[in-house]
């Protein structure tokens, strides 16, 4: 899932600390790097789910990758809609603003969904950078009354999945603060982040 990298409308919490131009540049470069790392892997099909919907036609997206509109609603409604798209097998959704995501982690998520109902990649801020659902024999509904963009998001979602088998991957850092931005700049350098 990706939000069109429009200055002033993306990474607004980060922009308050490092400036709008720098935060927008980060969003663009982090998404492009992620598409490069994951988009051509033959083990899965990558679909870019874009918001707002008109941005699906923007030429900034990789030409050879399928695109999907996220549609209206809050984050949970948009993710539920993506999980409901008719397709075979499990589905994994990730965000584009966590530079630490690797193909190995995504492959592990799909592997875990062979024996679990859901898999999460927890984020250090209390949210999650990955959610995967098996989708068979029925599609789970884990997003009711989740407090998004706060430290309760993962806990709320897990409560909605009580009684189901869950697996978790490594905890990664979501870049929403200047401190997280600087830490990722040190870890990943110019490959992902614009350094000053």
Q: Cβ(2)–Cβ(55) under 8 Å?
A: no
| Number of domains the chain contains | 1
CATH number at residue 32: 3.90.550.10
CA distance readout (Å), 91 to 5, 35, 125, 139, 163? 24, 17, 24, 11, 20
Q: Is residue 24 part of a domain?
A: yes
Token reading at 118: 């859901």
Residue located via tokens 């190995």: 104
In a domain, 196, yes or no: no
Residue 182 lies in a domain: yes
- How much is the pLDDT for 15? 94
* 20 belongs to a structural domain: yes
The pLDDT of residue 194 is 45
Residue ranges for the chain with pLDDT beneath 50:
191, 194-196
Q: What is the residue range of 183's domain?
A: 2-191
Q: Quickly count helices (H) and strands (E) in the chain.
A: 6, 7
- For the entire predicted model, the pTM comes to 0.91
What's residue 189's pLDDT? 63
């Amino acid at each position: 899932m990706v939000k069109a990298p429009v200055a002033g409308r993306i990474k607004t919490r980060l922009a308050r600390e490092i400036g709008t131009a720098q935060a927008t540049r980060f969003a663009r470069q982090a998404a492009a790097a992620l598409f490069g790392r994951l988009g051509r892997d033959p083990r899965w099909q990558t679909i870019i789910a874009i918001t707002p919907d008109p941005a699906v036609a923007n030429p900034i997206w990789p030409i050879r990758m399928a695109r999907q509109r996220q549609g209206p609603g809050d984050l949970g409604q948009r993710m539920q809609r993506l999980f409901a798209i008719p397709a075979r097998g499990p589905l994994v959704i990730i965000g584009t603003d966590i530079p630490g995501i690797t193909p190995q982690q995504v492959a592990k998520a799909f592997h875990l969904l062979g024996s679990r109902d859901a898999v999460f990649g927890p984020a250090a801020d209390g949210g999650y950078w990955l959610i995967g659902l098996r989708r068979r024999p029925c599609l789970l509904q884990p997003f009711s009354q989740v407090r998004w963009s706060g430290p309760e998001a993962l806990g709320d979602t897990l409560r909605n999945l009580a009684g189901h088998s869950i697996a978790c991957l490594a905890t990664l850092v979501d870049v929403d603060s200047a401190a997280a931005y600087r830490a990722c700049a040190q870890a990943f350098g110019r490959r992902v982040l614009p350094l000053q």
